[in-house]
Amino acid sequence: MLHGKRSIDTRPPRMAIWLIETWGSKRYRSDLLGDLIEQYAAGRSRAWCWRQAAWTLWIARVEAFRNSPWITAVKALILAFGVITLGVSTLSWAESVHDDACEAGCAAADAAAPGR
């Protein structure tokens, strides 16, 4: 029986539920499913339900990617490389400034010293 544009069945699409149960974030899975079922029963559309399922899966994959051990190792290597590069460039800059100051100081000293 149809009621408006949707049947009276207030359950969200089974495939969307299965995808969230299978691939959704373990930490938030039950809360997300509860909210999805509740909102769908309150009159949200199937398109809304599928959008929510897609975002849930996207966020779960991003979270899994960010928390994977090899990503943490890559981040640590990038940070170490950045610190080393910054240190080397700072030391090179300081050495060039020191050399310029010594050359300027030596030239001034030679010019001021009589009989040299």
Q: Are residues 85 and 49 in the same domain?
A: no
b/e 32-48 (16+ beta carbons within 10 angstroms → b)? bbeebeeebeeebeeee
Q: Are residues 10 and 59 in the same domain?
A: yes
For residue 105, pLDDT beyond 70: no
Q: Are residues 50 and 78 in the same domain?
A: no
> SS3 of 64, please?
helix
- pLDDT for position 1: 43
Burial (CB count within 10 angstroms: exposed 0-12, middle 13-18, buried 19+), residue 25: middle
Q: Are residues 15 and 33 in the same domain?
A: yes
DSSP 8-state code for residue 13: P
Domain that holds residue 7: 1-67
For residue 65, pLDDT beyond 60: yes
Q: Are residues 5 and 61 in the same domain?
A: yes
pLDDT tens-digit series, residues 4-55: 555 567 788 999 999 999 988 888 889 999 999 999 999 999 999 999 999 9
pTM of the model: 0.53
